[in-house]
Copies of this chain bind each other. A is one copy, B any other.
Amino acid sequence: MPIVVEIMSQTQLDLMVKYVDVLQVGARNMQNFNLLRSIGETRKSVLLKRGLSATVEELLMSAEYILAGGNKQVMLCERGIRTFETSTRNTTDINAIPVLKNLTHLPVILDPSHATGHSDYVTAIARAAIAAGADGLIIEVHPDPAHAASDGKQSLKPETFVELVKQVKAIADAMGRRIAPIKKPVVAGW
C-alpha cells in the first residue's frame, strides 16, 4: 500500500522521507526551488503538481530541479489551471497531456478532483485523461463527502469510485493499456 504525503518544508521532508513511498509537491510549492533541490537529493518517487498558473514549460523546469539532483523518479501532475471560467473550480488543461508526453518521457498524471472541483464531473474527466494518454490518475474519495474536513465537494463516494474505475478500465482497454490492480486504497496525507 503506497503512502503519498505532501511535503511543504525541509522539516517535513526530514521527518517523512523514511516512512513514505511518494513525496508529493503541491501546486503552491511547484516553484519552491529549495524544496525541489532537497527532494532531488532523495531517492523517493515524487509527484510534482503543476502550479495553478504555471505554464507547461515552468512545470518542466521545476522537474529539472529534482532530476538535476539525481532523483529520476518524477511524475508530473496536471491538476487544473486558473482561468476566467467559473463553472468549475479550475480548468483542466487536457492539452497539457499530449504536450507533456511529446516533450518528456516522465509519467503524466491527472487529478480530476482538483481540476474540476465537482464530484459530478470527476468521472468524465478521468476518462478523458486516460483517452488523452495520461499514465495515471489521482482521485479523491471519502466515505462521507458531505462531512469531509476539506475538499468534500470534489470527493467521490466509494461506490462512485468503483464505477469510475470500471469506466476508466474500458477506456484503457480501448487504448491498448492496462490499469494496475488496486489491492488496497492508497492513503494520501492532506
Interface residues of A (CB under 8 A from B): 8-11, 28-29, 31-32, 34, 52-53, 55-57, 81-88, 91-99, 101-102, 115-116, 120-121, 124-125, 127-133, 170-171, 173-175
Contacts and interface: CB of A to CB of B under 8 A. Distances in A.
A91 B88 contact: no
Nearest to A29: B32
In the complex, which of the residues A86, A95, A98, A130 has the most CB atoms of chain B within 10 Å of its own CB atom? A95
A53 B27 CA distance: 12
Classify the secondary structure of A's interface with B: helix
In the complex, which of the residues A102, A115, A132 has the most CB atoms of chain B within 10 Å of its own CB atom? A132
Given A9-B9, A32-B32, A84-B84, 15 more contacts: A8-B34, A53-B84, A56-B85, A81-B83, A81-B84, A81-B85, A83-B84, A91-B91, A92-B95, A98-B116, A98-B124, A102-B120, A131-B131, A131-B132, A170-B174
